[in-house]
Amino acid sequence: MSQIVRFRPGKTISYSSNNVESKALHRGFIIRYIQLRLQGAPTVTAGNNTQAKTLRGDEWACVRSITIRANGTDEIKRISGPNLWWHNLLWFSVPPKVTSALGDGATANPSFDSVLTIPFAIPRSRRSFDTVLDTKKLQSLDVEIQWGTFTDINGDATAWTTEPSIEITTCESHGAKVPGTQWKHYEIEQDIVASNTKLQVMLPVGPIYRGFYLAFTDAGVESNAILNNLKIVSGSTVLYDLPAHIMQRDISMRYAIPEINSGTAIIQHQRSNAGDYDGIYYLDMVTDGLMSEGIDSHGLAELFLELDVTVGGGTTKAFIVPHQIYPVRKKSA
């Protein structure tokens, strides 16, 4: 039977200040990816609508968390709006649409209309279809949005001119055999209260780790001055030992994303980030598109990241998203 692909215009998740709102997705098909369209407009004067006052994540800052949950308890994806924006840039080597009126210093109540993608077929893989989500046997599948508020976009905003909403569209197919492998990622938020050459972030053992996304902020702004080095360690074995600047160089070299110096933008990144990617790192351990290059943690006693970090002048945070592959393993004889 040939495979049939279709797009299903989805449901809309309405805004509720600082609350979680969810919608059930249709089941019975294979989901390749989900598109999230965010629309709205904060109420802010033109004089306060400046780049300096636009907070981390631009319009996506009002989306504090996006969760794809199966069967009520199984978190398949969980990530904030700002970090999903950067994932889209890294996955597809194309910056998502930037709202030019946001932070332009001239527009009052700037409206936004932005689309981000949550893929299930893993990008940059020779067999990306291996990780699509087969929903036929699921009892439930929901998209949950943890909303923030207008001050997450601009601290001087006073209300919503147009309350935000998220429209969901799914790319689905049927008629193909699915291996049953799952690709999961979730966000870890780590406070950095002091400089530390060996800050440990424990990771669950069992999955294959494809890679890691990391973002470091000082007083809510991404900064290159926090992460110095990253190690991936199991017991006394150091699996990876990388200076921060090498990981950041890989962003431009491996993903064809131009390096940008001090706001001299070759391509426009987020309005709130002066057009650069300071404090953003992506370690993709798969160079040939095959999962055999990832770290298989099955059978390991422990696995953790060991970060060499320097605390910033303000509240300093690390946001870490491990990319995990849960393969179908054969039972022992």
Give tens-digit pLDDT for 194-239: 999 999 999 999 999 999 999 999 999 889 999 999 999 999 999 9
Same domain, 178 and 250: no
Angle at CA 106, nearest 5°, toward 105 and 108?
A: 100
Same domain, 113 and 10: yes
Tell me whether residue 153 is in a domain: yes
The pLDDT value given to residue 259: 58
**pLDDT class for 2, splitting at 50, 70, 90?**
low
Same domain, 28 and 75: yes
Among 135, 162, 182, give the residue marking a domain's end.
182
Tell me whether residue 321 is in a domain: yes
| Structural contact between residues 41 and 109, judged by C-beta atoms closer than 8 angstroms | yes
Same domain, 95 and 40: yes
Compute CA distances 44 → 81, 110, 158, whole Å: 21, 8, 6
Tell me whether residue 169 is in a domain: yes
CATH code (residue 231): 2.60.120.730
Helix (H) or strand (E) holding 254: helix 244-254
Angle at CA 227, nearest 5°, toward 223 and 229?
A: 155
Burial of 112 by CB count in 10 Å (0-12 exposed, 13-18 middle, 19+ buried)? buried
Among 157, 182, 207, give the residue marking a domain's end.
182
Tokens of 299: 């059978």
Among 150, 182, 214, give the residue marking a domain's end.
182
The pLDDT value given to residue 266: 46
Same domain, 169 and 239: no
Give tens-digit pLDDT for 103-122: 999 999 999 999 999 999 99
* Single-letter residue type at 90: L
Same domain, 219 and 238: yes
Same domain, 200 and 160: no
* Cβ atoms within 10 Å of 198's Cβ, excluding its own: 10
Tell me whether residue 55 is in a domain: yes
Q: How does strand 141-147 pair with strand 133-134?
A: unpaired
For residue 237, give its domain range.
188-326
Same domain, 158 and 300: no
Count of the separate structural domains present in the chain = 2
**pLDDT class for 156, splitting at 50, 70, 90?**
very high
Tell me whether residue 332 is in a domain: no
**DSSP character string of 90-150:** HHHSSPPPP-TTTTBSS-SS--EEEEEEEESS-SS-TTGGGG-EE-TT-S-EEEEEEE--G
In 3D space, the residue among 186, 224, 193 whose CA is nearest the CA of residue 83 turns out to be 186
Same domain, 92 and 69: yes
Instruction: State the average pLDDT over residues 252-259.
Output: 66
In 3D space, the residue among 289, 305, 185 whose CA is nearest the CA of residue 239 turns out to be 305
Tell me whether residue 333 is in a domain: no
Q: What is the pTM of this model?
A: 0.92
In 3D space, the residue among 264, 286, 288 whose CA is nearest the CA of residue 275 turns out to be 264
The pLDDT value given to residue 98: 85
Give tens-digit pLDDT for 117-128: 999 999 888 888
Give the Cα separation of 250 and 236 in Å (integer). Answer: 27
Tell me whether residue 331 is in a domain: no
Average pLDDT taken over every residue of the chain: 89
Same domain, 155 and 66: yes
E strand residue ranges, the chain = 4-14, 20-24, 30-43, 63-70, 74-79, 112-119, 133-134, 141-147, 159-174, 182-186, 188-192, 196-203, 208-218, 221-222, 227-234, 237-243, 280-284, 295-296, 303-309, 316-326
Tell me whether residue 316 is in a domain: yes
Same domain, 30 and 108: yes
Q: Residue 257 pLDDT > 70, yes or no?
A: no
Same domain, 37 and 120: yes
